[in-house]
Structure 1
Amino acid sequence: MPKGADAAAGNLNPPDTGRPDADSFGRADARLEAHNLALKNPEDLREATRGADLRIIQLATGGFEGLLTHAQVGGFSLSAGDFGPDIRARGVMNAELVTIGTMLDSSGEVSQWDYDVRPGDIIVFPKSVEQEGRYTGRSRYVTITLSEQELAAHVKTEGRLQESEFWTRIRRFQPSEAQRASMREYLARRVLQLREGKVPLSAAGIDFFRRSVLEAFVGCIAGEVQDDREEQYFRGARLVRDVEDYVDALRPGRPVHISELCSVLLVSRRKLHRAFQDTIGVGPMAYLRLRRLSAAHNALRSGRMAGGSVTQTALEYGFCDLGRFASYYRRIFDEAPSETIRSAQLRGVRPA
């Protein structure tokens, strides 16, 4: 844990112990916890990612400051940092686990080993590999840390990515401009969600959160890695039916991520997307979002709001951006979530 860091400003009142204080969000029994740490000197960034042991040297004049966030779900970790001014960082990211990271923004230049890094580039740091980097200006990054086995399980339909050896080499991926913009925006919203303490509490909601963050990286990597082996699957309409049958068999309303479908049905992301576009005219992510919206709508109509609020209901059904949730909701149902609740109350429905 970084030394000398004080608790980040927020809705907490940390004790004055002289040790780093942390904001803890979520419930321990739900296995999702997040901590914010205010950075006041370069040494506070020593554990820039969970398990890292970095030597940080400040390269520019001025007070060092920033914010570091760690989140943990089982053996999966997310870390996000926002700091400045210039530093050099050198050391092992994690001795036992793979780390995958990207820069969200930088007001200066960033280099990793011998090459320049642009915001949206994805870097794979194998376990035990020493990294060295230089960051100038103000920098924002996000990393995830997990085992080779968990990575292989998440991408077991993606050819080379499912081979453990793939994750034992240093790699850099450069997604398209559209992909990198989408990934950066998505991860920035997820980090903000954690920092504000807006986290799902149910096991299904937490699993969807973990899958979504992992997919933000892996989806871009899969698009960059060419694999010549034949894919196994079927005709499009049959695949769509199999997806619907699988989702229907789950607990009503449980959010389902595209990575889960690929793993269960043994189909690549590209094949799944093509099947949905050819069969029903929308992609699988859009279709799953419509199903989650429908489930949330039913919950609000019947008084089964998670945590008794629209906010928590949205989080439990996999919507981290409440503004977008409200926009999607109104577009489909022609009313705001609050209007659905009022209509239910007029019908005599009371929260369960």
Structure 2
Amino acid sequence: MPQVNTVAVKPGRRAIGFLIEPNSSPLLHCGLEVLPGNIIVNGFDVTHQRSDANFHYGTMSLPLDDLDAAAEEIIGREFPKTPHKRIIRPGSALMLRLLTLHKSVGQLAHDSPDVLELPEVLRAFENELIHIMVRCLAEGAAVKPTVSSRRHDTIVARFEEFLEANPDRPLYLTEICAAIGVAERTLRASCEEHLGMGPIRYLTLRRMHLVRRALLRSDPSKANVTQIVTDHGFWELGRFSIAYRALFGESPSETLRRPAEQPEVCLDRPSSLAATELTARVN
């Protein structure tokens, strides 16, 4: 399905990602188009990725110290400290080797996982994958973002930081623009580029997730759906109920009545949304 994803990389590791099928639909990484044959080098901050249907994606990661040591051995130097969200395009032959080996290891892990428990087999695959990864990153050409794209990166990062600092309450556009020091028009353009939607729609979806979390945490014998919904800024209860069911597959009252032993869903902002259904879900 088409999706909008928020992605974070574990500190201390370098993670790369790439499309694994030549007919895969394109990926937008922080507003930059990623095509088959490109590699994303992820930083440690939060990034946003948008994809259409028929999307096939693979990833690899390595501790930074191990990657630097491997680079010293293979290319005779450490990698330069590059900006986050970098996109690399290696030569076609190297990229084909990476994709072929990555697919082989994945298939082996699926069909015969016990083989990968053999230390010599595991070491051989790891060494080959690391060698190809280092060469792809060292020899590939960087796809440079525009000045506008870098500015939008900064604005969306501040937007995300403000959301993180206020995880448990509804937020509205005017206070966010004032807090992060940008005009509404600029924030809208940045969010459209990164998230595929404007900030108002994004905040509406976020508030719906907050409602769901509140319903799941409440005692159904004491809680009132109307009170919880209006506390989060939704006043047209009929329209809200329709949008809630479209997003979560059940009514607010059904969520409230869920047995306590069921796993709790804790999302303070939308993290994976079908792009083709966004309008239906919030209107």
TM-score (norm 2): 0.44
Q: Which has the higher contact order (CA 8 A, sep 6+)?
A: 2
Q: Say which structure is richer in helix.
A: 2
Q: Say which structure is richer in strand.
A: 1
